[in-house]
Structure 1
C-alpha cells in the first residue's frame, strides 16, 4: 500500500482526488497527513441539550455523521452531520423508547450502529444491545446481554461487539447481579456472557496485590463491576477495567474466556512528584506530599503496541459505592487514626489539611483494632501505562494532570478533597509514526495530549479547553475524516456540547 505524505500546498489536491485515485495494483492509496499532534484547536461546536445530553459519540464514515448519546430528559441517540466539521448540524434522532432501555454507550462499524441499553424497568435486570442501520436508522437486531451494559465497542475487524456490564446493586443490596462482559458474534448475533466466578478462589491473593472486594459483597462475582473495554488491533485480546475493584481483566476473544485479572495496587502520594492538593477549604491550590495512598480505580482504557509489546492506558478516575446498605466513602476528619502511625492526627484533621479528603472508609485498618493504620483515597489523579501481557505498571503521570490544568486555569479547586481533575477518558491513536494519547478530564474541563511512542517516557504536548465535564473522546483518523484531516470529537455531559478539534499541518 502506498503512503503519500502531504504538505499544506498539496492537501487540497489530495482531499479532492483521494477517493478516485488508485495505485497500479488497484489498492487505494493510504493518505498520511503531515500533522502536528500538539496543535489541536477547536474548529466546530454544537449543543444538543443540557446536562447528560452529550455523553458518548461515535462516527460513521459512510454517512459522515456522529451518533451521540442524549439522556437529558430524553431517551434517544442524536444524529449530527459533520460533513463540514466547522458547522456540525443535528439532522435527526433515534428514539429508544420502544426498547425499554437507557443508552450508556455507542459504537459504529461498517454502517452499523450498536447501542448499549440498561433496563429502565429494572436496572439490575439484563440489558440489551440494539443495532441500527446508520443510513436510515432502521433496526437490524437486538440481543440480550448482562446487567447494566456501561460501554460498548466493535472489535477492529468487526467480527465482535463487546459490552462491559457493570451489574450494580440496588440501594438495599436485595438485588446485586454479577458483573459480566458480553461478546457478540456479528455474523450470527450469538451472545456469550462471561462472569468472574472462576476467579473467586484467587480472591485473597488478588487482594494482597491491591484488588478490592467490598466487605458487604454477597459473592466475588457479584462484587465485580466491569466499566470499559479496549480490544487489540488483531481483535484477539481485550482488556476490561474493573473500576470499583481496582483491577483490569484480560480476555481471549478467540476462546471467549477471561484469562487473567490484574490487580493495580496503590499509588504513594507521600512523594514530591506525586504531591496533591487535598483541601477545598484552604482558598488556594497547593500541591504537597501527604501520607496517603491512592487506588487507581480506572474508568476508561485504551491500548497500543510499541516494539511488538502490547500496552494499555488507564484513566485513573476513582469511584465510590454509595448505597443505603453500603456507603464506602467518608471524610478523613470523621475517621480515627492510629496514634502511633499518625502522632500529628489532630493537625492532619484540620479542614485546611487532610480533614476534607474523601477516603475509602472500609480500608486502612490493617490490624483490625478500629483505627486507620493507613489512609487510602479514591483514584490516582493521573493516567497510567501498563504492560498488556503482565499487567505491570510502566509509567504513571504523577501529578502532571492537575498541575497542567492549573496552568491552563481550569483546575477546579473545589474538587481537591475528592479526586482532583478526575481523568475520565483515554484514547491512543496513530498519527504518522507516533502513538498519540488523549486524556479527557471530567472536572477540569480539558483534554491533554501526549506522545507515548516511548511508553516509559511519554512527552507532554498540550492541554486544551473543552465543554463542561467531558465524558467521551473520539478520534477520527484523516483516512476516514470528511475533510481528510484528523479530528478529535469531545462530548461533554455537563453542558451537552460536542466540540470538534483539528491539528495544524506541519
Structure 2
C-alpha cells in the first residue's frame, strides 16, 4: 500500500540541525514499519498557527517504468486540462483534473511532423522536454531527433488542442516558461554535447514574443524569436568569478554558427520568470550559476555563481554507501549547488530565486568529471589525516569534482568539492544567498526513520529499486530535483521534489531568511521489493512539479502536481491549510 509520511513537530529538522554535531545512527524500525497515520504538521513559524497539509487526490499511471513517461506537468485553469511530458512517447499526455482533484487520461499530442515558421518540420523521433501554459495556449520545447541539432518551440490551443504554429529554437531546448502576462515564452536551450563528445552546440536562451491571442498565431514568424547567447565571454567580457567552465574544447555541429569555448560550454538548464514579467532567471547547472535575462531587450542583465556549502560547518551529511548506517556529520568537503529546477517569488518588492540544488556530472564519451576520494592524491598540508579520510566508511566512496580544488604545482587536491548541495536555497536577484537548507532534508529523513514514520531503507534510497538503503550517500543524497513556490492564505511555501527517495518536502519560506520545515509526503510503496513496474513500487523519481492556486483549481482547493519520471506516474495532491495543534 502507498503511504503518506510525516514527522511530528517534536522532531523538526531545525532542532536537529542545531543538535547534530557528531555521527548520528538511526535505530532501525521493524521490517513491517509503515506510516503511523497523519501527525501534526511541523509549526511553520506563523504566529497565527497556519500551515498546510498535502492529501493525494489521485494518480494517473502510464504503466511504463524507467522510461521517463512522466516528466514535467503544466495545468490550464481555463479547461481543467493537465499536460504532462511523456518522453517515452516523445509526446504530451493530456489529462483532465476533475472536481475531486483526480487526473484522468484524455488524449496524446505528438510533436512530430509539425511545420514551423522557418520552413522546417519537426523530426520523426523528436522528443518533448518541457511544457508550459498561459492564456489558453500550451507551448512545448521539442528536441531534434539528433539532440545536437536545432530544436523547436511549438504551440497548441488548450481548448481545441489544435496546432497553432511553431518556431526554431537552439539545440536541445529544455525548460520553457511563459511570462505572467503571456507576452513572452522563454526556453533554455541546453546545448549538450554529443554522447561521444565529438561536437558541442552552444548553449543559448530563446525569448519568443507570443501573439496576444489564439487567433493571431497565424502571424507567428521566426522574427519573433530573439536569442541570448554567451559569446561575449569569448570576446573579452570577463566571466563572473566562480562560474565553472571546463571539459574538452570541441567544435559546434556541422552547419551551425561558430561559437567560442565558453559559449559552447555553458548549458542553460531551467527557466523561471519573475512576477513582474520583466526578468527571466535561468540556471546554468554544471557551471553552478544563474543568469538573469532582461526580456524587453533579450539581453543578459546579471550573471552570478552560487555560494558553496561548507560541509565542515554548514550542515551534516552522510558520505558513504558502504558504512551500513545512517551517519550524519560534518566533513571537510565543499558542496557545489548546481541547481536544476528553480522558481521565483516577490518579497518586499524584489524578486527572490529558489533553487533545488541537485548537482550534475558530465559523462560524455571518454570524458568524466567525477572520481571517488579514495582514488585521489590529497595534499598533506590540508589533509594530514588523508589515509583515514579515504577509507570507505569515511570520505573514500564520495564522488567529487575533478577540475575543482586541484593544485597543479603540488599535484594533489587541496580542497574537495561534492556534486550538489543536497538542499534548496533562496537568493536575491543579484545573487546574495539569504538561506540554504544545508543538511536539513537529509536530517529530516533520518528523523522520520527514527520516529517510525519511514523504514530505515528509505534513507538515501535510489529511485528505481526497493530496498536500496544508503545507496546514494556517496553521490548526491536525496538529490533535490525541482522546486515550485505556492502561496496559501498569505504564506509562501517551497515544495521541493526529491528525485532519489521520491516525494515532496514542504518548507514555509514566507520569511526567506528563516525557512522552516512543514511537511513531507511520499507515495512510494516501501513494502514492495523489486526494480520494475511489476513490483508495484508506487511513485518513484519525482521530476517536475506545478502548483495550482485554489482559485484556479477544479476542486476549489490548491493543488500540487508531481510528475514521477521513473514510475511514469503523475499524482495530484490537495494542499489544505490547517492549524498547527
Tell me the TM-score normalised to structure 1 length: 0.89
- 2:79 matches 1:63: yes
Offset, 1:434: 1.1
Give the secondary structure class of the aligned counterpart of 2:286. Answer: helix
Q: State the partner residue of 1:223.
A: 265
Greater RCO between the two (CA within 8 Å, min separation 6)? 2
Q: State the partner residue of 1:214.
A: 246
Distance verdict in 2 for CA 1:364–1:475, change over 3 Å: same
- List aligned pairs for 1:118-157, cutoff 5 A: 118-120=143-145, 122-157=146-181
- 2:426 matches 1:394: no
Q: State the partner residue of 1:42.
A: 56
Gaps of 5+ in 2: 1-47, 114-121, 212-219, 251-260, 449-453, 462-469, 524-538
- In the alignment, the residues of structure 2 paired with residue 498 and residue 205 of structure 1 have an alpha-carbon distance, to the nearest angstrom, of 40
Q: State the partner residue of 2:536.
A: none
- In the alignment, the residues of structure 1 paired with residue 247 and residue 205 of structure 2 have an alpha-carbon distance, to the nearest angstrom, of 23
Offset, 1:94: 0.8
Offset, 1:376: 0.8
Moved more, 167-176 or 240-249: 167-176
Match of 2:199 among 172, 175, 183: 175
Match of 1:406 among 446, 455, 460: 446
- In the alignment, the residues of structure 1 paired with residue 208 and residue 239 of structure 2 have an alpha-carbon distance, to the nearest angstrom, of 31
Moved more, 78-87 or 477-486: 78-87
For residues 251-296 of structure 1, the C-alpha deviation after alignment (integer angstroms, 9 at most, x for no partner) is 101111112211113210101x511100000111111111111111
Q: State the partner residue of 2:473.
A: 416
For residues 333-371 of structure 1, the C-alpha deviation after alignment (integer angstroms, 9 at most, x for no partner) is 111111222122121111111111001112211343321
For residues 6-25 of structure 1, the C-alpha deviation after alignment (integer angstroms, 9 at most, x for no partner) is xxxxxxxxxxxxxxxxxxxx
Match of 2:318 among 264, 274, 277: 277
Task: Kindly indicate whether the alpha-carbon contact (under 8 Å) linking 1:35 and 1:505 is maintained by their aligned counterparts in 2.
Answer: no
Q: State the partner residue of 1:195.
A: 229
Give the secondary structure class of the aligned counterpart of 1:503. Answer: strand
Q: State the partner residue of 2:19.
A: none
Give the secondary structure class of the aligned counterpart of 2:413. Answer: coil
Give the secondary structure class of the aligned counterpart of 1:238. Answer: strand
RMSD (CA atoms): 1.8
Q: State the partner residue of 1:242.
A: 284
Task: Kindly indicate whether the alpha-carbon contact (under 8 Å) linking 1:35 and 1:503 is maintained by their aligned counterparts in 2.
Answer: no
Task: Kindly indicate whether the alpha-carbon contact (under 8 Å) linking 2:557 and 2:576 is maintained by their aligned counterparts in 1.
Answer: no
- In the alignment, the residues of structure 2 paired with residue 240 and residue 475 of structure 1 have an alpha-carbon distance, to the nearest angstrom, of 19
Match of 1:464 among 521, 526, 539: 521
Q: State the partner residue of 1:251.
A: 293
Distance verdict in 2 for CA 1:505–1:174, change over 3 Å: closer
- In the alignment, the residues of structure 1 paired with residue 478 and residue 210 of structure 2 have an alpha-carbon distance, to the nearest angstrom, of 38
Offset, 1:242: 0.3
Offset, 1:133: 1.4
- List aligned pairs for 1:446-485, cutoff 5 A: 446-466=503-523, 467-485=539-557
- In the alignment, the residues of structure 1 paired with residue 106 and residue 239 of structure 2 have an alpha-carbon distance, to the nearest angstrom, of 53
Give the secondary structure class of the aligned counterpart of 1:130. Answer: strand
For residues 6-54 of structure 1, the C-alpha deviation after alignment (integer angstroms, 9 at most, x for no partner) is xxxxxxxxxxxxxxxxxxxxxxxxxxxx996421111211212322111
Name the structure with the higher strand share.
1
Gaps of 5+ in 1: 1-33
- In the alignment, the residues of structure 2 paired with residue 139 and residue 211 of structure 1 have an alpha-carbon distance, to the nearest angstrom, of 40
Task: Kindly indicate whether the alpha-carbon contact (under 8 Å) linking 1:55 and 1:471 is maintained by their aligned counterparts in 2.
Answer: yes
- 2:519 matches 1:487: no
Offset, 1:202: 7.0
Match of 1:164 among 179, 188, 199: 188
Distance verdict in 2 for CA 1:305–1:86, change over 3 Å: closer
Task: Kindly indicate whether the alpha-carbon contact (under 8 Å) linking 2:93 and 2:108 is maintained by their aligned counterparts in 1.
Answer: yes
Distance verdict in 2 for CA 1:203–1:381, change over 3 Å: farther
- In the alignment, the residues of structure 2 paired with residue 503 and residue 245 of structure 1 have an alpha-carbon distance, to the nearest angstrom, of 35
Give the secondary structure class of the aligned counterpart of 1:504. Answer: strand
Offset, 1:150: 0.9
Task: Kindly indicate whether the alpha-carbon contact (under 8 Å) linking 1:295 and 1:376 is maintained by their aligned counterparts in 2.
Answer: yes
Match of 2:110 among 82, 95, 103: 95
For residues 437-473 of structure 1, the C-alpha deviation after alignment (integer angstroms, 9 at most, x for no partner) is 1111101212111111111111211111142010011
Q: State the partner residue of 1:343.
A: 384
For residues 156-189 of structure 1, the C-alpha deviation after alignment (integer angstroms, 9 at most, x for no partner) is 1000001011001113433111100001100245
For residues 60-87 of structure 1, the C-alpha deviation after alignment (integer angstroms, 9 at most, x for no partner) is 1122111111123x22211111123454
- 2:73 matches 1:54: no
- In the alignment, the residues of structure 2 paired with residue 63 and residue 35 of structure 1 have an alpha-carbon distance, to the nearest angstrom, of 35
Q: State the partner residue of 2:135.
A: 110
Task: Kindly indicate whether the alpha-carbon contact (under 8 Å) linking 1:124 and 1:170 is maintained by their aligned counterparts in 2.
Answer: yes
Task: Kindly indicate whether the alpha-carbon contact (under 8 Å) linking 1:210 and 1:266 is maintained by their aligned counterparts in 2.
Answer: no
Moved more, 423-432 or 310-319: 423-432
- In the alignment, the residues of structure 1 paired with residue 575 and residue 194 of structure 2 have an alpha-carbon distance, to the nearest angstrom, of 45
